[in-house]
Structure 1
Amino acid sequence: MWHWDYKIVFLRLSHPDVDFLFFLASYFHCVYFDFKGKDQLSNNHSKSILVSTIPSTICYILWLHWYEVGVHILPFHFAKYFSINTLAFWAMRNGQ
């Protein structure tokens, strides 16, 4: 179990469908992951969403990106939240 302070990060979403954004907001909304302005999503919304999260949740998002069909999200500047060893592990594990 990892214990870190909350971070404010931007997520870049590769899916522009507003229904998908609402699904994503409801799917992840919990004490560990909070979409800022999730009630104001619209068709004109950019594909970046401000979130307050903990880095272990970001790891779960990375896992979803690599293993779940239809969920394509990546943290914006996520390298700032991981050590070089962690990044190397993910890159090696996923053949990147």
Structure 2
Amino acid sequence: METFRQSSLTELGRGEILRIEDGCGHDIAVFDGMLWVTQDGDERDLFVGNGDSLRLDRNGLTLVQAIARTRLVVSADRRRRPQRLQLPAECL
């Protein structure tokens, strides 16, 4: 099982799974193949195929499984700003 880290072309073999943590606003675009997508707290099973895309609408764990060998891109929502890390005074 792979974990999403960056926005780049990814290839999943049939049955392989990609984990996306807190991906609300991320887009999944399929260039070739078919994906099954399930999001934490969502009862729907979503399928994304050739030329289709899906915007994740919630945080939590999202699992993306290739139904067939699939080429896809997962891109982060650019409007989301990284949270600032607050260091304790003793770390400064």
How would you bin the TM-score normalised by the shorter chain?
0.3 to 0.5
More strand by share: 2
Higher share in helix = 1
Which structure's CA Rg is the greater one?
A: 2
Under a length normalisation based on structure 2, what TM-score does the superposition of the two structures give?
0.34
TM-score norm. by structure 1 comes to 0.33
